[in-house]
Structure 1
Amino acid sequence: MPKHGKKYRKAAEGAEVTGLTVETAVKLAVEKAYAKFDETVDIAINLGVDPKYSDQMIRGAVTLPNGLGKEVIVACFCSGEKEAEAKAAGADFVGGEDLVEKVKEGWLDFDKAIATPDMMAKVGLIGRVLGPRGLMPNAKTGTVTFDVTKAVSEVKAGRVEFKVDKAGVLHAPIGKVSFGADKLLENFKSLLETVNKLKPSSVKGTYMKAVAVATTMGPGFKVDPLSARKYAES
């Protein structure tokens, strides 16, 4: 097992406790943060789904009420009047085939990509580049749309995309330690509400099997799944 430093071991005191409320887990994660930089607070949710079945592949997006605490660089693949709309909405890079060619040459200086439906044939040519980096626009997450004004604005405001991995675990950031517990809890609630609404009808039994909160450098604090479900529904 990897050895952790004194600061981590100190922060991990109490992390072995299970069944914490959502509020307690978030407050502990914030209080125990020890890095010299402003750590990101991440959520891990183990869902009772089997991603090998298409109807149980949980994927979506949520615009966090308090954002993510960082600047998001957006590239928008579009043409014509949509280019002006994207620029007005705050997109950092806007273009059509020229932007596709730029990516083909190795340029990837952006965090999120948005595309209009008519551009997807071209964007599909760079799917092998964008896909593995989580940058491929997708209609299910609202990043393939003609409403580029809304899409760009939401991404800039703190829109978080999420998808379960092969083990059925979903990971998502909810902000920075500097936000404080109250703002992080508001973001956490928005995430939980969205994930809860995406529960497939084919899933029987427990949907949220395990939930944990952790900062970039800190230990994970385990939330009582029932508490998480109630928090999402409150």
Structure 2
Amino acid sequence: MNTGSIRLYSYWRSSAAYRVRIALNLKGLPYEIVPVHLLKDGGEQHKPAYADLNPQELVPVLLHGNRILRQSMAIIEYLDETWPDRPLMPTTARDRQRVRAIAQMIACDVHPLNNLRVLQYLENTLGLAQEARDAWVRHWVAAGLSAVEQVLEDNPSTGTFCDGEVPTLADCCLVPQVYNAERFKVDMTPYPTIRRIVGECLALDAFDKARPEHQPDAQR
């Protein structure tokens, strides 16, 4: 497959970068990781060279040839439209809406409230102790996962994965958010459907290779 050069600016523990890594692996696309350390020296994402690539100073950024692509959800849909083999979206409009809705519940409503820059603001600017900051994370992650669990459980569209029998954009978003939940010690007991789906995902090589601990910049 001649894909041209693909470079992903990524941080090993960024859930937004994690979802793009999953998508690239599911599509079977070769890519190069360019690490951006979000904590070192005040955050490499704030350096002028990176800010030129992304004025938001966030990861990920994907370079495809001379194209600069930003925002993980838009990047994943770009990949799916550019390389339609191994699609990450269902074939019908109704099912595509459901997948996008689940993905956006996570990426738009849950993830922003436990993003690094929000946590740094709570701790460094508002003066919250780490215990209070982590309680904030657990509250909003639990609220979001509770809603996702209700959407997934006992729904005929839910299969081995969030929608049917192949991974979709929704699974690309769910797995990294569960990683974050476990990192902040959220009790996952109330979410059996989510836990089952994540287990099925992580059994696949594409998801396993995308795990934070398997990245070249992972802190060991």
TM score, norm. by length of structure 2:
0.24
Using CA pairs under 8 Å that are at least 6 residues apart, name the structure with larger relative contact order, 1 or 2: 1
Higher strand share: 1
Higher helix share: 2
TM score, norm. by length of structure 1:
0.23
Q: Which has the larger radius of gyration?
A: 1
